[in-house]
Amino acid sequence: MVKLCKINSEGKEQILRVLKDGEFFGELNIFWDIKTANFTAYAIRDTKICSISKVKMNQIMKENPGISLKFLGCLSHRLASTENLVQNLSAGNADSRTAFVLLELAETYGVTGHFLCISGHG
């Protein structure tokens, strides 16, 4: 597993995403001409990482349209998840935002059968 994060202006770590086996990062470097990443990646358990150059990835996508479509599908899913997160964080109260994030984490990491009851009662 790999944790992608940024450090905010207050010096606090902001987790962008936690990647599972088989997921990728660094796609901005393939489609934009940027030299450095805008996040930091940390292995949070033993991890094997494959690196591929922009030139080689572009060649692979041109020669294998199916890979390009799968890549676009993954990016579309990430965009939809980000849009849902922004919508949830900008609306609703703290309890509903917390519940949304917990449900997203459970769905992403396959946790089932555990229930959390959030109540306004202290």
Would 44 be classed as within a structural domain? yes
Show the domain range for 7: 1-63
Tally of domains in the chain: 2
**Are both 99 and 77 inside the same structural domain?**
yes
**Are both 74 and 26 inside the same structural domain?**
no
Q: What is the pTM of this model?
A: 0.64
Would 122 be classed as within a structural domain? no
Rounded distance between C-alpha atoms, residue 17 and residue 41, angstroms: 10
Would 42 be classed as within a structural domain? yes
Mean pLDDT, the chain, integer: 82
**Are both 43 and 10 inside the same structural domain?**
yes
Instruction: For residue range 70-106, list pLDDT tens digits in order.
Output: 989 988 988 888 888 788 778 777 777 777 777 777 7
